[in-house]
Structure 1
Amino acid sequence: MTISDVTASAGSRAPAAVARTAQAQQVADIAARLERLPLTSYQRWIFGIIATAWLFDSMDLAALTFVLGSIRQTFGLSTAEAGLLSSMSFLGMFAGAASAGLLADRFGRARVFQVSMIFWGLGSLCCGLSTTATALGASRLLLGFGMGMEFPVAQSMVSEIMPASNRGRYIAFLEGFWPLGFIASGLLTYFVLQAADWRWVFILQAIPAVFVLVVRRYVPESPRWLASHGYSERAEATVRDIESRVRDRMGSKDLPPVVRQAAAPASETTGLRTLFSGIYARRTTMLWTLWFFALLGFYGLTTWLGALLQAKGFPITKSVFYTIMISLAGIPGFLVSAWLVESWGRKATLVMNLLCGAIACHFYGSAADQTQLIIAGLCMQFFLFGMWSALYAYTPELYPTHVRATGTGFASAVGRIGSLIGPYVIGVILPAAGQSGVFALGAGAFVVAALAVLLLGEETRGRTLESISH
């Protein structure tokens, strides 16, 4: 069924209303065809491409955790100046996340995703070539802009191609590539700093941006997005191609029958207004509070982990090694959360990780010896990386297709305000409050985020995107 077919048969009905009704029905039909597809190696292949790009992006963001101490020595920065430099990445991420959501809902997911990779690749290269702290700050701003663009778009792409029974798990897996990228960045830094200075870390991490060519060739545009924007022929052709590839992976077996769904009522609002209308106002309030405080605590602490270990007397290479060791707990953390979001639910998994992460932060900040430090650090990263998996699985599910990237992007952008403030505030309060005060700040932020989910959140496990949206 196409828009023109319905329009021709509608008689005296208003053309605009008829077009909206037909478009809504095609969105429902496309969604039903995607939802009934078995999960095969084809969908996993698409996911793997997106996740690999996510990993490269995460490596660039994580690099500052490992080289901030070296950068401070190179440029003679105070703790406040180092915190400000750290915050430049998140200022860029704020702008990137806010703009990418709007652009992806206007021009398509795949196109904006590719552009984001070009931005962070150039930003990383410029970081490596910077000769002043000002130039490095500007380069981190560019790098952060590309990262901020990629995150909400990648979430929307994965959520719209995976069926409901696997959607939460695979978005959680997607976020799991962040600790993998964090560890890979730490290992790269560990070996590079033994032979060269910190600039080479950024130069080497710019090279994977050429992976954009793989994304361009193999990742299709979201059929849900195409249908919701009236590109009926392209949506139909894309879904048929996906169905054909899934059928091939199944050994030419017949696909399950389509369970046709009634079209949801056409939205009376568009763009940003949708985020604050009807059922979405409560969701937006919850998500913005969650993202702001969760990212304030996480990035405020994570950005300073290496430097804080150096402040305890560890040499640079050993502080990098311990930071990597602590981050290893993020791997089982995101795997456990990927299982819990489907078996237990998004809301409960988020609250549990945030509260347990807050408790671990308290013990990390008050650790009296190296053993306590490592144990508390492992627990902290286990729950905080698990928090990320649930957060990314939850956010894109709460908005309809026509504003999914916008809603996800602005939630991420509000979070980037928190991540912008966090490293700078910690740089300011560290001399006065000490490390125990720093980690108390992080723990408090996680508690506020948990309360927002507990009081305002709703469960989305096992529901299709269309049923959640309406």
Structure 2
Amino acid sequence: MSSSPAPTPVAAHGSRLAFLVVGLCWLAVLFDGLDMFIYGSVLPHLLATGTFGLTPDQAGDLGSYATFGMLVGALAAGTVADRIGRKKLMVACVTVFSLASGLCAIADGVAVFGVGRTLAGVGLGGLLPTAISMVSDYAPRGRGAIVIGLLMTAHHAGGILSAYVAKWLIDPVGWRAAFWVCVLPLLFAPVLAKLLPESLSFLLAKGRTDEARALAARYDVELPAARTGKPGAADRWTNLLTLFRGGEWIQTLLYWLASFGGLLLVYGVATWLPTLMRAEGYELGSALSFVVVFNLGGIVGMLVAGRAADRFGAPRISAVWFALTAAGVFLLSVHMPMTVTMIVVFLTGVFLNSAQTMIYATVSIRSTAAHRATAVGWTSGMGRFGAVFGPWLGGQLLAADRGDWGFTAFALAGVSSMVFIGIASLRTPRSAGRDSEPQELVTAH
């Protein structure tokens, strides 16, 4: 009697270890999301109690400090990771944003609090792209895109956690306790340092091929293709200039403008949703419940966006998603029954977060292999200026006693992104059809 051979214990053990790596990165991104969303969750209380004498325009500036720090962290992440390794960078990022939250917790004024939020943003911005690279290296065979989508759910799970932390702690203990909770990930840093292996791509780039092969065999994952050489500054500028040659500059600017509006919308809503909902007449507890529902929608959206894009095309899905987001955000300016409002908030979360992801997917699919990293990176970088502008814009509107225009302004940003990505999808870039290699879902914030 014959039977098929059972999986080898080594392969099974390696598979479990690979999931351990993904799990550790998921927890790191969960803490990233908690730290990112906690400011928006405590902001209604800070404004209502006049903490630090905080005004709405100052609150908007503080929100922008964190997103500016994220811009710096994201831009520096690649260079730093190439020098010290992705594992060490992840540990450093968790340490930085945890300690920065401690600085916010002990702050005695707006200036110190602002420094804390800026430093937290640096850690937050550096962690996410590094974690994505790590799980790409160690994802089970053929599961890269699914695992990246799963990783991004952790960011929204952190947003849900931030709302509950604020609801449970602000009234009985005070707002500082919420930021002390955000210091707790510091205890997770030694766990990362001990259990997380180094990136396979980093080991190959450093010529540590034998070590990379041993890790790939142990974790039962495919060894990434070794980089043939590190591009110099001249190569990077050449790749960037390629995006503007001929008629490509129109396509490139359309992507950048769509990304600017998309991240303005994402971070503007993430910062001001509880405050704007409270301005619409909802109690603080209800306003924080909207944060939970919004991020639940974000989790669902990340899980379904890739499948929808595979079937209907990423550019089309991005345009439709932004249109639905704009409609949902605008409806939030209308006081509706609680059940209807919850449904609108949930659907807005579904479409908003994955609409921006589809911009990156569109750029990735429509770029040649030689210029893909440059195209996606610069589209994300230009979008991050929108991430800085969004929280500031909300604060300015509230300071001018135009809080009722907040949702309308964010809805208009969604409409603009819909228009820009829609026009871009109608154009046929010269690179189309020249690169047929399969694409995975590109996920970044």
Report what 1:201 is aligned to.
178
The reply on whether 1:83 has 2:60 as its aligned counterpart is: yes
Give CA deviations for 1:70-90 in whole Å, capped at 9, x if unaligned.
Answer: 222222322212111221111
Structure 2: give runs of 5+ residues left out of the alignment: 1-11, 426-431, 441-445
The count of residues paired between Structure 1 and Structure 2 equals: 415
Report what 2:215 is aligned to.
241
Tell me if the contact between 1:116 and 1:147 (Cα under 8 Å) persists in the aligned partners.
Answer: yes
Tell me if the contact between 1:156 and 1:396 (Cα under 8 Å) persists in the aligned partners.
Answer: no
Report what 1:123 is aligned to.
100
Report what 1:463 is aligned to.
438
For 1:175-324, what aligned pairs fall within 5 Å after superposition? Answer: 175-227=152-204, 229=205, 231-232=206-207, 234-246=208-220, 272-273=236-237, 275-278=239-242, 285=253, 288-324=256-292
What amino acid does structure 1 have at the position aligned with 2:240? F
Structure 2 Cα separation of the partners of residues 276 and 357 of structure 1: 31
Structure 1 Cα separation of the partners of residues 341 and 419 of structure 2: 27
Distance 1:344 1:54, change over 3 A: farther
Structure 2 Cα separation of the partners of residues 117 and 411 of structure 1: 26
**Greater RCO, 1 or 2 (C-alpha within 8 Å, sep 6+):** 1
Distance 1:295 1:378, change over 3 A: same
Distance 1:204 1:307, change over 3 A: same
Tell me if the contact between 1:158 and 1:170 (Cα under 8 Å) persists in the aligned partners.
Answer: yes
Report the secondary structure of 1:195's partner residue.
Answer: coil
Tell me if the contact between 1:224 and 1:401 (Cα under 8 Å) persists in the aligned partners.
Answer: no
Report what 1:58 is aligned to.
33
Structure 2 Cα separation of the partners of residues 292 and 157 of structure 1: 27
**Residue 384 of structure 1, CA deviation:** 1.6
Structure 1 Cα separation of the partners of residues 71 and 361 of structure 2: 20
Give CA deviations for 1:362-416 in whole Å, capped at 9, x if unaligned.
Answer: 2222344544432321221121233355567677886979995x87665544333
Distance 1:340 1:372, change over 3 A: same
Structure 2 Cα separation of the partners of residues 341 and 164 of structure 1: 22
The reply on whether 1:150 has 2:127 as its aligned counterpart is: yes
Structure 1 Cα separation of the partners of residues 424 and 333 of structure 2: 30
Candidates 340, 353, 374, aligned match of 1:385: 353
Tell me if the contact between 2:300 and 2:350 (Cα under 8 Å) persists in the aligned partners.
Answer: yes
- Comparing 59-68 with 307-316, which one deviates more in the overlay? 307-316
- Comparing 183-192 with 238-247, which one deviates more in the overlay? 238-247
Tell me if the contact between 2:15 and 2:140 (Cα under 8 Å) persists in the aligned partners.
Answer: no
The reply on whether 1:448 has 2:423 as its aligned counterpart is: no
Distance 1:385 1:244, change over 3 A: same
Structure 1 Cα separation of the partners of residues 92 and 335 of structure 2: 44
For 1:40-51, what aligned pairs fall within 5 Å after superposition? Answer: 40-51=15-26
Report what 2:324 is aligned to.
356
Distance 1:268 1:62, change over 3 A: closer
Structure 2 Cα separation of the partners of residues 298 and 289 of structure 1: 14
What amino acid does structure 2 have at the position aligned with 1:63? I
Tell me if the contact between 1:172 and 1:389 (Cα under 8 Å) persists in the aligned partners.
Answer: no
The reply on whether 1:374 has 2:342 as its aligned counterpart is: yes
What amino acid does structure 2 have at the position aligned with 1:418? G
What amino acid does structure 2 have at the position aligned with 1:95? V
Distance 1:71 1:268, change over 3 A: closer
Distance 1:326 1:117, change over 3 A: closer
What amino acid does structure 1 have at the position aligned with 2:34? M
Report the secondary structure of 2:198's partner residue.
Answer: coil
Report what 2:4 is aligned to.
none
Structure 1: give runs of 5+ residues left out of the alignment: 1-36, 248-254, 466-470
**Residue 120 of structure 1, CA deviation:** 0.5
What amino acid does structure 1 have at the position aligned with 2:267? Y
**Residue 179 of structure 1, CA deviation:** 1.4
Structure 1 Cα separation of the partners of residues 309 and 213 of structure 2: 27
Report what 1:174 is aligned to.
151
- Comparing 262-271 with 87-96, which one deviates more in the overlay? 262-271
Tell me if the contact between 2:153 and 2:299 (Cα under 8 Å) persists in the aligned partners.
Answer: yes
What amino acid does structure 1 have at the position aligned with 2:209? A
Give CA deviations for 1:80-114 in whole Å, capped at 9, x if unaligned.
Answer: 12111221111211211111133224443223222
- Please report the TM-score for the alignment, with normalisation by the length of structure 1: 0.76
Tell me if the contact between 2:298 and 2:350 (Cα under 8 Å) persists in the aligned partners.
Answer: yes
Distance 1:268 1:318, change over 3 A: closer
